Every structure is written in structure tokens, then in C-alpha cells.
């Protein structure tokens, strides 16, 4: 196999030489500026064997929040849209559901009334639409929806509403030997359905809010797993570093988020030794996407809030704030 | 980058040609027989693009129980030995522990009395030695122990007591594009400490019994995770397919076990479509390792029992039984 080995060395040399000479721009959708510089500098610092902060390939872990970091989260998280749509399908299967709250309100389509549903109502909707079926049935239901559903503003599949600059970061990090993970407050089983096709992130590299399953047997003796309404991991806030430890077992070298829910993941990442990159996307582009904070006097929101306290912590701890308006040359692939 | 691409094609051609001509035996520690044949046939069926049961590289997942499947589990699981040893270190830090049961009995060294400790006692010992510290402290404690501790029979580090034939299967599957995972009833954080050095399985590919952690801050504001005595995943029996779904999110194409605790993982794997391989190691070699079942009239045991019911299920469902005595030419690397 020595021919293989020498061919591999030849490839390694070509790859190193190409990147060392910067022949291509791995981040063409990024404007020149401190955010882009921070990414490129981090990759150089951690992948150049001569660097004091070189990281062995096996330890290169980068984690990405999904909603608001990799794709659009306004006016509402895509998974919540899924759950609401799913109530309609459920009501066809079980007509008595249409007479019961909060399902009755969801089915009414009355946006004002839906907007007033409380946390307990939402929990009932999530339990009814995300649990009780086999993992295979759930996978099939989400697959169908994700192919058919359209975002209300762009009239496109949600999976087309990923941010091109972030897709470039994913590809650039992978090309630099990083294993890329999604670490999302969204449902792990939900995101795993489309993560590979959408982000080239395989299911086993998706960490999300996860419920338990129960192993059992069908009448013919075939085993299957049922999704249970029992929370194992609430992958938000402190649950993000806890989930990273549970599912990955190593501290990331790079982490990307956009809201207060990512604070703990970002500070945990940044607290590691050597070179660590923490970045936070600020939605300050009402024209091309949305504008919300309330950091930097942007409008307040209940979906993906990024407070001034998190902005201040970013300045203090060296997280890099990404301004969608200033740092991103384009936002979507379809632009 | 077309030079890179053509070099890659050249390598692919070489690799395919080498394996197609069977120039090397990937399993030299296996005797010729049905077990070895089953492994080789499975790899061919799932990696040959012309095969009707070809599996795309991204979906090639193989899971391995650890204790009794990849390394020696008798007379007692290594992790339990760790916990017992750890009681001594704890008693030095907290002398009052030496006066309290069940720690007093463990410290007495009285094997008969230790053997009589009940499940509640064991739980107290596990809680005291596996939780309450930061994940970094735990990692350091296990690292030190695993380097220093010696198995009572072979007087060698536990990590040398891995089965060479199974190490060959791990390497062979990886060389065939499979991602290899450990799926163990043992502690996930424990096994992750040495899995990479011992099996070339990185921490993120170790699924095990896992407790929760709590995110918090040291006095200087530095964040850290504390191991809590709260069980998230009991990765044994039905917990194995449940853990596989939680941590990997795909059904394995191949699974390897040795005891009744692996039954559900093996049947779940085998119930998938296409080519699936389920193998179960039978410890029938008292001379070179240990003999226990009680399947096939082997002596009964409380550690890694493999009952006749599991043996019968193997015959019925097409799991392949590996006889250590007949199928393995050698057992350890140091032989």
C-alpha cells in the first residue's frame, strides 16, 4: 500500500499549499472585516502545525446553534410551525381533538388567539405532535412536511432559508478538519431528519432537545422505539454545555450562536485553553432578513432574544459579534 | 484542485483492487469458520457497490458492547474495580467515610464480605466515586487509575486485556468505511477516557450509561460541569437501542455483544432491512480466558451472563455465535 501512502502525502501537500497561498476565498459571502478575519485567523491558529495553539485533527469540534444561527427563526421557529400544521393532520385521525383546547384554537387559524396560547397549551401541542408515535413514523411525518411546507415570507422550503455565509463557515471548518455539530434547542429527532441534506451534518452530529424512547415489540414481534413525553435533555442555555458533554464528550474549539440561549455554550467554549472561537449572530438587517435584539436598541422579541447583557458579555469575553447587515454580503443562496 | 481529484481516484482504485483480490487477511487472529466468514461476507455485501444490499458510507454504523465483547469482564467489570479502589482514595480525603458502611467493608479488603454487598450498597459506592466532582477532575482520576491499575490474573493494565480478534474487526470495519461505536452498560464518561487510545474509538463514539451534569461557575467565574447522581441513560438491555437512538440516531448495520444485556441491541440491529450482522461472543475458553454462560451448560455467572434463551434466540434470528475457544486463534496481543 505504499503507493497509497505516497499519493496521500501528495494530496496533503497540495491541500496545504493551496490553503497556505490563500488561492481561494473560502468565505466569499462575507465582507472583509473583523468577523471574517476572526474565522480565518482561528482556522490558521488551530490547524497550522507550527502554531503554538495547534489542535490535533481528532479534537477539532465546532458547534452551531440552528435557529437564528444557521437558518431563519422568525416569525416563529420552524419546528413550532410543524407542530401547528401537524395538529390539522391529527384532527383528521382523531376528530374529537378538534373539540378540545388548545387544539381547537390552533385549528381555528385565528392568529391573535394562537398568539395568546400559554406555555401549558404549547406543551400539550408539542406532546401531541412530537410524541406517542414510533421513531420511524415521526421521521416519515417530518420528511413529508419539510419537503412541502413553505415559509410565509419567502414562499420557499424552510431548508432553503439557511444563511449562505454560515454554510460557508461549516464547509470551511470541515475542509480544515473540524467535525461540525448542531447544538440546538430544537428537537433532536426533528433536526436529524434534514440535517444531512441541508447542512451536510449527519444525524449523529445533531445534539438537540431530546425525549426518551421506549423499546417494544409490534404484534409480529418486530422491535421498534416509541417517542415518549419524557424530557431527557433540554438543550438550551445551561443545557447546551451539558448536552455537549453528554453527546460529544469534548469541549468545542469553536461555537456559534445568536441568542441568550447560546450564552453558556459560548462562554464554556471560550473558557477552554488555547485558541477558542465564540461568535454570535446579531439580527440587525430588517430589509434582507429581520431585526431583533433587544441588544443595541434593536426591537425586542420572544423568539431568539439577544439582550444587551449578552452583547456586553461578548465584548468582555472576546466573543465576536456578527452583524448580518455589515458582515454578510449576501444572506441566502437564492438571492 | 483537479490534481487532488485524480489522485483521489487513483487511491480509490488501488484500495478497491487490493480488497477485491483479498491480498491481505484483515482477520489473522480468527480461525477459518462460520464466524469469520460471516464478517467477511457482511463487509462484502454492504460495501460492494454492485451488491443489492450496498450501504452508503455515511450510513455504515457498527456498535460494540465493551465488557466481555471487546475486553475481559471477569472476575469483575473494570469500572467496579475502579470504584472499589477509589473508595480508598476518598477515605484519605474524608476520614469519616472509613467509619461508614458500605465503605468500611470495601476498605476492609474482606472479599467475602465485599461479595455480599447488596445493590443499595453498590449504588452508594458508585454515587460516591462517580459523581460529585467536575468532569475534568473525574477524567484525571480515571486517567491515573487506568495507567496504574493491574488485572489480578494477568498482572497487566486492563487496557491490554482487549481481545485481538475484536480489535481486528474494529479495524477491518473502519477500513471498510464503518463508523465504530462502543455501546456499553459501563459509564460513558469512564470509557471515554481511554477509548481512543485503546480502541481508536473517539469519545463522541462512546455511548454508555450516563448521568446528568450541572453547569456552574467557580469562584473566579470560570464555568465547569459537575457530575450528578441523576441517571439519564441506563445503557443496558432495552436501554441499548434507546441509547443508540439518542446518541447516534440511526439503526446499526452491525452489532456485537456477549451477554443477555445485548439482546435488544442485537435483535434491533438484525430487524433492519438489507444486510445486518449480529454477533455474540460465547466465553467458552477457561484455559485462555474464562468459561461462563450458562448457555450450552457453561458455568453460570452474575457478571455478563449469556443464557440458553439468548443462545436459542441467536439460532432462530441468525445472530452468529462466536466461540472464543474455536473461533479465536489468539486472544490477546501479548500472547
pLDDT per residue over A140-163, tens digit each? Answer: 999 999 999 999 999 999 999 999
Is a pLDDT exceeding 80 seen at residue A2? no
Q: Which residues of B touch A247 (CB under 8 A)?
A: 204, 247
Q: Which residue of A has its CA nearest to B227?
A: A242
- pLDDT tens digits, one per residue of A196-220: 999 999 999 999 999 999 999 999 9
CA distance B206 to B188: 6
Collect all residues of chain A within an 8 Å Cβ-Cβ radius of residue B12.
Answer: none
State the pLDDT at residue B115: 84
In chain A, whose CA is at the least distance from the CA of B268? A223
A222 to chain B: closest CA residue: B271
**Touching check for B8 and chain A: CB below 8 Å?**
yes
CA distance A228 to A225: 9
Best to test chain B binding among A204, A228, A240 (most B CBs inside 10 Å):
A204
Is the minimum CB–CB distance between B272 and chain A shorter than 8 Å?
Answer: no
**Within 10 A of B66 (CB to CB), how many other CB atoms are there?**
29
Angle between helices B135-148 and B188-199 (to 10 degrees): 50
Question: What span, in angstroms and rounded, lies between the C-alpha atoms of A208 and A200?
Answer: 17
**Rounded Cα–Cα distance for residues B217 and A271 (Å):** 11
Instruction: Compare all CA atoms of chain A with the CA of B58 and give the residue at the minimum distance.
Output: A202
Q: How far apart are the first and last CA of chain B?
A: 48
Distance (Å, whole) CA A52 – CA B166? 38
Q: For chain B, give me the number of helices (H) and strands (E)?
A: 13, 8
What is the share, in percent, of chain A residues with pLDDT greater than 70?
93
For residue B12, what are the CA distances in angstroms to A52, A310, B45, B257? Answer: 35, 49, 18, 32
Q: How far apart are CA B57 and CA A49, in angstroms?
A: 30
The answer, for A243 touching chain B at a CB cutoff of 8 Å, is: no
177-216 in chain B: CB under 8 A from chain A: 179, 188-189, 192, 196, 202-204, 206, 210, 212-215
Q: How confident is the model at residue A23 (pLDDT cuts 50, 70, 90)?
A: low
Neighbours of B11 (CB within 10 A): 18
Model pLDDT, residue A17: 47
Instruction: Give the model's pLDDT for residue A90.
Output: 93
B262, three cell numbers: 445485548
Mean of per-residue pLDDT scores for chain A: 94
Over 80: is that where the pLDDT of A3 sits? no
* DSSP letter, residue B251: -
Q: Cβ contacts of residue B12 below 8 Å, gap of 6+?
A: none
Report, as ranges of residue numbers, the positions in chain B whose pLDDT lies below 70: 1-23
> Do A248 and B18 count as a contact with CB atoms less than 8 A apart?
no
Quick one: how far is CA A92 from the chain centroid? Answer: 32
pLDDT of residue B271: 97
Long-range Cβ contact pairs of B145-154 (< 8 A, separation 24 or more): B145/B82, B145/B85, B145/B86, B146/B82, B146/B193, B146/B194, B149/B78, B149/B81, B149/B82, B149/B85, B151/B72, B151/B78, B152/B75, B154/B332, B154/B334
**With contacts defined as CB-CB under 8 Å, which chain A residues touch B273?**
none
What's the grid cell of residue A98?
A: 378538534
3-state secondary structure chain A: CHHHHHHHHHHHHHHHHHHHCCCCCCCCCECCCHHHHHHHHHHHHHHCCCCCCCCCHHHCEEEECCECCCECCCCCCHHHHHHHHHHHHHHHHCHHHHHCCCHHHHHHCCHHHHHCCCHHHHHHHHHHHHCCCEHHHHHHHHHHHHHHCCCCCCCCCHHHCECHHHHHHHHHHHHCCCEEEEEEEEEHHHHHHHHHHHHCCCHHHEEEEEEEEEEEECCCCCEEEEEEEEEEECCCCCHHHHHHHHHCCCCCCEEEECCHHHHHHHHHHHCCCCCCEEEEEEEECCCCCCEECEHHHCCCCCCCCECHHHHHHHHHHCCEEEEHHHHECCCCCCC
pLDDT value of position B5: 55
In contact, B310 and B263? CB cutoff 8 Å: yes
Indicate the residue of A8, A204, A232 with minimum beta-carbon distance to B250. A204
Give the mean model confidence (pLDDT) for residues A81-105.
Answer: 93
CB A215, CB A225: distance < 8 Å: yes
Q: In terms of DSSP bridges, do strands A223-233 and B179-187 run parallel, antiparallel, or are they unpaired?
A: unpaired
CB contact under 8 A, B11 and A8: yes
Nearest to B215 among A3, A225, A264 (CB): A264
DSSP B103-166: HHHHHHT-HHHHHT--HHHHHHHHHHHHSSSBHHHHHHHHHHHHHH---TTT-S-GGG-B-HHH
**pLDDT confidence of residue B8:** 54
| Nearest Cβ partner for B225 among A206, A210, A242 | A242
* Polymer length of chain A: 335
- pLDDT value at position B220? 94
Q: What pLDDT does residue B190 have?
A: 98
In chain A, what percentage of residues exceed pLDDT 90?
88
Stretch among A55-59, A118-122, A288-292, B82-86 having the lowest mean pLDDT? A118-122
Residue with cell 461555537: A255
- Best of A8, A213, A231, A245 to substitute, by most chain B Cβ atoms within 10 angstroms, is A245
| HSE (side-chain half, CA atoms, 13 Å) at A151 | 18
Amino acid at each position: 500500500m505504499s503507493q497509497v501512502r505516497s499519493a496521500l502525502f501528495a494530496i496533503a501537500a497540495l491541500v496545504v499549499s493551496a490553503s497556505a497561498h490563500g488561492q481561494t476565498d473560502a468565505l466569499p459571502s462575507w465582507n472583509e472585516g473583523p468577523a471574517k478575519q476572526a474565522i480565518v485567523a482561528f482556522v490558521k491558529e488551530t490547524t497550522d502545525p507550527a502554531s503554538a495553539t495547534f489542535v490535533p485533527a481528532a479534537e477539532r469540534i465546532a458547534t452551531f446553534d440552528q435557529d437564528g444561527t444557521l437558518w431563519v427563526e422568525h416569525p416563529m421557529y420552524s419546528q413550532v410551525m410543524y407542530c401547528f400544521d401537524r395538529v390539522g393532520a391529527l384532527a383528521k385521525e382523531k376528530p374529537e381533538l378538534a373539540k378540545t383546547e388548545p387544539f381547537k384554537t390552533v385549528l381555528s387559524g385565528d392568529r391573535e388567539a394562537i398568539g395568546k396560547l400559554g406555555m401549558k397549551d404549547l406543551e400539550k401541542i408539542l406532546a401531541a405532535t412530537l410524541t406517542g408515535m414510533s421513531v420511524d413514523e415521526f421521521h416519515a411525518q417530518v420528511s413529508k412536511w419539510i419537503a412541502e411546507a413553505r415559509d410565509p415570507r419567502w414562499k420557499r422550503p424552510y431548508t432553503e432559508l439557511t444563511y449562505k455565509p454560515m454554510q460557508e463557515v461549516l464547509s470551511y471548518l470541515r475542509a480544515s478538519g473540524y467535525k461540525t455539530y448542531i447544538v440546538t434547542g430544537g428537537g433532536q429527532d426533528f433536526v436529524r431528519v434534514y440535517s444531512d441534506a441541508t447542512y451536510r451534518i449527519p444525524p449523529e452530529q445533531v445534539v438537540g432537545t431530546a425525549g426518551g424512547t421506549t423499546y417494544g415489540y409490534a404484534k409480529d414481534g418486530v422491535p421498534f422505539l416509541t417517542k415518549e413525553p419524557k424530557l431527557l435533555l433540554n438543550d438550551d442555555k445551561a443545557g447546551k454545555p451539558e448536552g455537549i458533554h453528554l453527546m460529544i464528550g469534548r469541549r468545542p474549539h469553536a461555537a456559534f450562536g445568536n441568542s441568550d440561549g447560546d450564552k453558556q455554550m459560548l462562554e464554556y467554549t471560550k473558557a477552554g485553553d488555547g485558541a477558542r472561537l465564540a461568535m454570535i449572530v446579531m439580527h440587525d438587517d430588517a430589509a434582507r432578513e429581520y431585526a431583533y435584539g433587544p441588544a443595541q436598541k434593536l426591537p425586542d422579541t420572544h423568539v431568539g432574544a439577544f439582550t444587551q447583557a449578552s452583547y456586553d458579555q461578548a465584548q468582555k469575553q472576546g466573543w465576536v459579534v456578527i452583524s448580518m447587515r455589515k458582515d454578510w454580503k449576501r444572506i441566502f443562496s437564492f438571492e
